[in-house]
Structure 1
């Protein structure tokens, strides 16, 4: 079985050094630390640009869906720049467009825009687009079937239905919260042809646990620790 992959959660930020999450600096730092790739979040601006930011609101600036791209602060990159900064790395793009959030778009234009950009940049082989929202994943699959998609799972999603739901959506990956990870879920996913990426795993015991459960990738805030656990190999394999 291949070694567990390590993705830096929102890059590899270092607040003490002024490196914010989801910034080009955080992505460059993840590369420098040796991460296999990064996870980032993307939201749509008022004029349809794809901004890399986790929350819908930028404190002191405004709500992203109400701002033009030109109104974004300098530390918020657009997705194209983030992909360029992560050339040669795996990139997990989480689409942030959910019911109940500001600017929710039932037409899934953000998902289509992400798919189109990934295709245009020739990055389909090392990008996974993830979301909690099935309609966003379906839109990516329609726009660019060659782009891999991953269904995000948290505690409100019944893990017993997760594998079947991911398969129905045409996903190639399942992205469960660490609390949902166990050998049963991982084995079921693998039998269905799905890879598994767990989030967000930051302590040694849990990193070793998900590694030994057979997950393919871990998303972590501690790239250095995760790489150390990766290097020790899987137990019982």
Structure 2
């Protein structure tokens, strides 16, 4: 299988379009169809969310609980709706793209796990699937990406955050870089040009989520943002192509 490699600041060939849960504006999110469609559109990458189900498989789903109220970590894989893929199935659908894998491990959700079993299981799987540069692992929980770094230091990692205040940017950047992380993923509504500049000065990539407005995309590209995580990768790709003319 052909797969792109994720690139750090100054390495990637131009801004990266990351399909948020696949091409989720036109297909059901976090499904193999959404990832196939994202690849067909020409996306550089796909973003997806992972959790553990009761039978031990790593599955791709954003919420901890299904629409019927049942928690994924209490159900075997055979009991889950058929559209929910395993991580391996999802990655196989992401041909020609690198993949941002978000570890879901929130203290407010029923599958929260301080032992980081999900991170451990994911690393074991990815080690069987080729070089680490194919993936970029992120999580809101700093301990989860710190665990990934300790298990496989060559595997690129990023801290996912609602936002970083301008006055905290330098200390946050230095902390992330010192821990071996390679990127930060701030929310599009809180991101400032100052934060982008400071992160780049510390060798970190900045991939922002989730941006579907072309005007905001253009502003972020002017700031030098490295990745746009979007539900509409076709719109972002068209904008980048137009700006390159």
Q: What TM-score do you get using the length of structure 1 for normalisation?
A: 0.91
Q: Is the 8 A contact 2:64 2:111 kept in 1?
A: no
Determine the structure 1 residue equivalent to 2:110: 102
1:214 — aligned with what?
Answer: 224
- 1:6 is matched with 17
Hey, what's the Cα distance between the residues in 2 that align with 1:88 and 1:114? 21
> 1:14, CA displacement in angstroms?
4.7
Q: Which residue of 1 aligns with 2:5?
A: none
Shift of 1:180: 2.7
Secondary structure class of the residue paired with 1:129: strand
Matched, 1:232 2:231: no
Post-superposition Cα deviations, 1:167-223, rounded to whole Å, max 9, x if no partner, equal: 243211111111232221112111111111010011011100111110111100111
In structure 2, distance between residues paired with 1:165 and 1:175: 15
Point out where structure 1 has 5 or more consecutive residues left out of the alignment: none
Spell out the pairing of 1:53-92 with structure 2 (5 A cutoff): 53-60=61-68, 62-92=70-100
Deviation by residue 1:83-138 (Cα, 9 ceiling, x = unmatched):
11113311000001111210211100101111222221014112100001011001
* Count of residue pairs the alignment pairs up: 231
Write out aligned runs for 1:171-210 (5 A): 171-210=181-220
CA distance in 1, matches of 2:78, 2:68: 16
The answer to whether the 8 A contact 1:153-1:162 is kept is: no
Contact 1:137/1:149 (<8 A) preserved = yes
Q: 2:146 aligns with which of 134, 138, 146?
A: 138
- CA distance in 2 between counterparts of 1:93 and 1:219 reads 12
SS in 2 for 1:7: strand
Range 49-58 or range 120-129, more displaced: 120-129
Cα offset, 1:13, TM superposition: 2.5
Q: Structure 2 unaligned segments of length 5 or more: list them.
A: 1-9
Distance 1:212 1:172 in 2: 21
Give runs of ≥4 in structure 1 deviating > 3 Å.
none
